[in-house]
Amino acid sequence: MEKEIIRVAKKPGKCPVCGSVRIANYIYGIPEFTTELDRHVDDGRFILGGCCITDDDPLYRCTGCKTDFYRVKP
């Protein structure tokens, strides 16, 4: 079963699928790994999205149900 693509204009305050308020930001590219970044990834504040970037990658992810949120297309 394929997940529905949810598009948002800004970071949601809570997940429309499960109601969780734990919404993480994706970080793309090759970040400088620090203990602070490691802690934020472990805490679910950031998701490492990798270094292959397209014009339609998710911006946010619900850490409860793993739903991704994409930018509204112009």
Query: What is residue 22's predicted lDDT score, i.e. its pLDDT?
Result: 96
- Report the distance separating Cα 33 and Cα 12, nearest Å: 27
Q: Is the pLDDT of residue 25 over 90?
A: yes
Name the pTM for this structure.
0.85
Summarize pLDDT for 42-69 with one digit per residue, the tens.
999 999 999 999 999 999 999 999 999 9
Compute the residue count for the chain: 74
Separation in Å, CA 54 to CA 41, 44, 49, 58, 70: 22, 23, 11, 10, 12
Domain positions in the chain are: 6-71
> How confident is residue 2, by pLDDT bands cut at 50, 70 and 90?
low
Residue with tokens 């504040």: 45
- Report the distance separating Cα 4 and Cα 44, nearest Å: 22
Q: For residue 47, count other CB atoms closer than 10 A to its CB.
A: 20
